[in-house]
Amino acid sequence: MKRESEQPSLDRTLELVRAHGFDVAPYAAAARGALVTKYGVGAVLVAAPESTNTEDAIAAFAVHPGLLVRGEVSRLLDRGYQKFIKTSQYELPASASQLQAIHTFSEELKQLTGAISLYNESLGTTSDVYRYDRLMGRGDAQPAPAQP
């Protein structure tokens, strides 16, 4: 038996986020996409691909929350010793206030969209990509030799 979704539709979600002080602008790179911003952080919401009815489609992330750098939503890159803000042109070290803004934005947006809030994500900011320097340059693991 399919469970009823408590998540609001994309249009209702956009109304909710506007009412809570978020800025919403159309996003041309995604069909029916909307760039949602607050605290210098942004994310792109679109209709969920598994929705059959476009009017009642729930909101999903096309671009996950990240800091806005020159109008582009960045990704958070973790290198083990430092977190970085990465865009197509720049890679900048992340400050504590930037990480806190991303975390606050993500939690507020998840609460408004009805998305699942995981325990480890509620403790602090999680990264989009993990690239540890001690693992860089390593080849693929060698397969175990076959036993005769």
Predicted confidence (pLDDT) per residue in 55-110, tens digit: 667 776 778 888 888 888 888 888 777 888 888 888 889 888 988 898 888 888 88
Q: Is the pTM of this model over 0.75?
A: no
| Better pLDDT: 46 or 129 | 46
d(C-alpha 49, C-alpha 91), whole Å: 31
Indicate the range of 22-26, 56-60, 134-138, 140-144 predicted with least confidence: 134-138
Percentage of the chain lying above the pLDDT 70 cut: 72
Which one-letter DSSP state was computed for residue 102?
Answer: H
pLDDT of residue 87: 86
pLDDT, the chain, mean: 76
pLDDT of residue 1: 43
What is the arrangement of strands in the sheet containing 129-130, beginning at the earlier edge strand? 91-93, 83-86, 75-78, 129-130
- Sign for the CA dihedral angle at 77, 83, 85, 91 comes to negative
Residue 53 binned pLDDT confidence (cut-offs 50, 70, 90): low
Q: Which residue do the tokens 């994310």 mark?
A: 43
CB atoms within 10 A of CB 104: 15
d(C-alpha 126, C-alpha 124), whole Å: 6
Q: Do 23 and 12 meet the contact criterion of CB atoms below 8 Å apart? A: no
- Sign for the CA dihedral angle at 11, 23, 104, 86 comes to positive
Write down the domain spans for the chain. 10-132
Residue 22 binned pLDDT confidence (cut-offs 50, 70, 90): confident
- Which tokens sit at 37? 């911003």
